[in-house]
Amino acid sequence: MTETLTDPRVVRAIELAWREAALLDAKEYEAWQGLYADDARYVIPIERDAEDFDDVLNMVHDDARMRGLRVRRMTEGYAIAAVDSAITVRTVSRFIPTDVDDRSVTLKAAQIIVAYKRGRHDLWAADVDYVVRLGASGDEDRFARKVVRLVNADEAVPAAGFLL
């Protein structure tokens, strides 16, 4: 690793990941959707080591159209998961920049989500890979790819009425 967390390009990518976590905890899904480039992928694979997501089973494998449909289901109030969705608190940390240039930043991170619903807490843990496409300013930075690798991806995963 030659890049450091003090590299301003890396800082912008980390800030985007934190902004995303805050928007998801606030259930601001329309704003969340705007953090993604039009050609971005949001993936939660069933196999933790998967790299070619087109050839494996995924819990989520969304392009812009699928993200839009997902947001619509979560905001229109017709999906039972959206009506009675959990309160969540996300922590995104352990950032490791793996590839940095003036156009993009690739990061590995850890994410912990505590979800509270009907008197019960659930814990979700994952390694997350981000590819952030840098814009002219931080406000223009967008996710080109986000892959959430749940620590228990190969086991039965409880239903999540929220995005990871």
Delimit the domains of the chain by residue range.
Answer: 1-150
73: left (phi over 0), alpha (psi -120 to 50) or beta: alpha
CATH number listed for the domain at residues 1-150: 3.10.450.50
Burial 93-131 (b: 16+ CB within 10 A, else e): eebebeebeeebbbbebebebebeeeeeeeebebbbbbb
Structure-model confidence comparison of residues 54 and 145, the more confident one:
145
Tell me what pLDDT residue 83 has: 62
Return the closest-CA partner of residue 51 out of 65, 36, 41, 64: 41
Q: What is the pTM of this model?
A: 0.91
Compute the distance between CA of residue 120 and CA of residue 117 in angstroms, rounded to an integer: 5
When pLDDT is cut at 50, 70 and 90, the band that residue 160 belongs to is low
pLDDT digits (tens, 9 = 90+) for 47-67: 888 889 988 889 899 999 999
pLDDT digits (tens, 9 = 90+) for 99-112: 999 999 999 999 99
Tell me what pLDDT residue 101 has: 96
* Predicted confidence (pLDDT) at residue 78 exceeds the cutoff of 90: no
High-pLDDT (> 70) share of the chain, %: 91
Pairing of strands 58-62, 142-150: unpaired
When pLDDT is cut at 50, 70 and 90, the band that residue 17 belongs to is very high
When pLDDT is cut at 50, 70 and 90, the band that residue 1 belongs to is low
Tell me what pLDDT residue 55 has: 87
* Predicted confidence (pLDDT) at residue 139 exceeds the cutoff of 90: yes
Mean pLDDT of 108-125: 93
When pLDDT is cut at 50, 70 and 90, the band that residue 80 belongs to is low
Mean pLDDT of 141-152: 96
